Amino acid sequence: MDMRFRISILFFLVAILLPAGHSWGKDGHAIICKIAQSRLSENAGKAVEELLPEYAGNDLGSVCSWADQVKFIFHWSRPLHYIDTPDSLCNYQYSRDCKDEDGAKDRCVAGAINNYTKQLETYSQSSSSSGYNLTQALLFLSHFIGDIHQPLHVGFTSDRGGNTIDVHWYTRKTVLHHVWDDSIIDTALERIYDSNVDSLIEAIQQNITGEWADEVKSWEKCSSNQDACPDPYATEGVHAACDSAYKNVTDGSVLRDEYFLSRLPVVYLRLAQGGVRLAATLNRVLG
Ligand SMILES: *[C@@H]1O[C@H](CO)[C@@H](O)[C@H](O)[C@H]1NC(C)=O
Ligand SMILES: *[C@@H]1O[C@H](CO)[C@@H](O)[C@H](O)[C@H]1NC(C)=O
Ligand SMILES: *[C@@H]1O[C@H](CO)[C@@H](O)[C@H](O)[C@H]1NC(C)=O
Ligand SMILES: *[C@@H]1O[C@H](CO)[C@@H](O)[C@H](O)[C@H]1NC(C)=O
Ligand SMILES: [Zn+2]
């Protein structure tokens, strides 16, 4: 068997055998990447097209979950999808929180965003000078800017961002983390958008140019001379985790319409901010 084929089979087996774990689901990531790609400047759009792997065509959305698929072969990348903050503190500090379970500095989603932004900054130089695979840098960065906007990716340490909190989503047994990765989006798609992801993207884009137009400029801002600004996103994230995701939920909670309808606006906002900020970052780095 050809090596690439063997790897695809391995991915397929791994994908069906293991639950998704840490990340917006496939839809959440695709939504963020599609919103972002539609906002790229001409130069950044060209660079992205050139960096995307051939099988993606020119569709960043189709490879926005690549970083989840490679967790199983790039084991070192697993802690780069989230940040664990101290239980119940509801705040975030890079120097205190951005580390993996062994305490290795910078190994969290904010450190990874800085890392892959720096790698992409070498894009305009001659390709050999970087030494990094910039296709991978683009796919990691696009995924991680999505992840940092999922409130429970900046959650508490002892419940692993809601992964150990058992809940029912209506009648189905799941964990709170998964509700935020997938269930809220899935239920919205079914009930409101006729299961059409493009309609959901269109609805978010309408609010980006309408309802939220005045705020969008502040979402795009980054402190002077920086291309990436993950820290404020993480702070917003842990606040949304405390005020919305964890709020009124305990182990065994049954979550229904009241939770779905009150948290859906938070999910819309975080998907919108993720898309806008991914585009702004790529425009700064590749524009
Ligand atoms: C930075 O990127 C390199 C190349 O993918 C990787 O080996 C390293 O673990 C990354 N570090 C962080 C903190 O993202
Ligand atoms: C860069 O990474 C991509 C995605 O993993 C891979 O398809 C490609 O072959 C790599 N390029 C090089 C030059 O190693
Ligand atoms: C867009 O904004 C309107 C008005 O605030 C709101 O009712 C609707 O749910 C929002 N839709 C999305 C997808 O953000
Ligand atoms: C939490 O529960 C209290 C008491 O039922 C309620 O007043 C409040 O609105 C709830 N908060 C959220 C964010 O659901
Ligand atoms: Zn992830």
Q: How far apart are CA 168 and CA 171, in angstroms?
A: 6
Q: How far apart are CA 218 and CA 45, in angstroms?
A: 22
Residue nearest to atom 7 of ligand 4 (CA): 248
- Beta carbon of 81 within 6 Å of any ligand 1 atom: no
Kindly tell me if the per-residue pLDDT of 112 is higher than 90.
Answer: yes
Kindly tell me if the per-residue pLDDT of 64 is higher than 80.
Answer: yes
pLDDT, one tens digit per residue, over 41-54 is: 999 999 999 999 99
Average model confidence (pLDDT) for the chain? 92
Instruction: Tell me the pLDDT band of 128, cut-offs 50, 70 and 90.
Output: low
- Beta carbon of 115 within 6 Å of any ligand 2 atom: no
Per-residue pLDDT, averaged over 162-187, amounts to: 98
For ligand 4, what atom is nearest to the CA of residue 243?
Answer: 13
Q: What percent of the chain has pLDDT over 70?
A: 90
Higher pLDDT residue, 144 or 20? 144
Binding-site residues, ligand 3, Cβ < 6 A: 203-204, 207, 211, 268
pLDDT, one tens digit per residue, over 9-38 is: 444 444 434 444 457 899 999 999 999 999
Tell me the CB-side half-sphere exposure of residue 95, using CA atoms within 13 A. Answer: 0
Per-residue pLDDT, averaged over 198-207, amounts to: 98
Expressed in angstroms and rounded, the spacing between residue 80 Cα and the centre of ligand 5 is 8
- What confidence score (pLDDT) does residue 127 get? 55
- Full set of structural domains in the chain with CATH: 3-286 (1.10.575.10)
Give one word for 6, left, alpha or beta, with left for phi > 0 and alpha for psi -120 to 50: alpha
Per-residue pLDDT, averaged over 152-172, amounts to: 98
- Beta carbon of 77 within 6 Å of any ligand 2 atom: no
Are residues 213 and 202 in contact, defined by beta-carbon separation less than 8 angstroms?
Answer: no
Name the residue of 247, 253, 254 whose CB sits within 8 Å of the most ligand 4 atoms, as the mutation to test its pocket. 247
Q: pTM for this one?
A: 0.93
